[in-house]
Amino acid sequence: MNKKTTPGLKIITINRKASFNYFFKEMFEAGIVLKGSEIKSVRSGKINIADSYAVDKDGEIFLINSHIPIYKQASYSNHNPYSERKLLLNKREINKIIGRIHEDGLTIVPTKMYFKKGKAKLEIAVAKGKKQFDKRLTKKTRDWNREKARYIRKSS
C-alpha cells in the first residue's frame, strides 16, 4: 500500500490536529511569502502549524500563529518566529474563500506544508469545527478499525 506522491513534492509538516478538530469543506494550494532566514529554517524541517489559522485583511489572506523557529546562522537579519505570513492565492480563490468564511461561519485551517518544484506551498482548507460528539465518533471509528485490523491479522 504505497501512497502515490507527485514527483518533486516533499512534505515538510502535516497538521494532524486539524483533521481531528474540523470537517474540511474545500482545499486550496497557496504559496507563502517567506524571508531568507525563514525558508532556511523551513528547509531544515522545523516548523509548527498545529495551532495556526488564516484570516483575511484588506482582501488578502494571512497565516497567523505559525511557528518558524529562528535560524541560528542568520545573525542580525533574523525573523520573528510568530509573525504573520502572507498567503499567495488567485484573486478568484481569495474572493471565494472570503465569501465562504463570512457567509457560512467557516474558518481557514492549514493542513499541510510542502515543497513543490522547490517552492514552499501550504495546503489550506475551508473548514467547519467539530462538536465534542463528532470527535468522540471519529475516535471510536478509528479504534474500531484498528481492532478489526488486529483481529484479521491474528486470524490469518
Which single residue is written with the C-alpha cell 475551508? 126
Mean local confidence (pLDDT), 85-92:
94
Domains of the chain, start order: 9-130 (2.40.280.10)
64 - beta bridge partners? Answer: 53
The three three-digit cell numbers of residue 5, written as one number: 506522491
Asked if 138 and 153 count as a contact pair (C-beta separation under 8 A), the reply is: no
The three three-digit cell numbers of residue 147, written as one number: 481492532
Asked if 38 and 68 count as a contact pair (C-beta separation under 8 A), the reply is: yes
Whether the predicted model's global pTM rises above the 0.85 cut: no
pLDDT of residue 45: 84
* Nearest one of 111, 115, 118, 52 to 85, comparing CA atoms: 52
| Cα dihedral across residues 29, 57, 69, 73: positive or negative | positive
pLDDT of residue 81: 82
Is pLDDT of 3 > 60? no
Buried b (16+ CB within 10 A) or exposed e, 144-155: eeeeeeeeeeee
Is pLDDT of 151 > 80? yes
The three three-digit cell numbers of residue 26, written as one number: 474545500
pLDDT one-digit tens code per residue, 51-81: 999 999 998 999 999 998 888 887 777 888 8
Mean local confidence (pLDDT), 4-19:
81
CB neighbours (10 Å) of residue 106? 20
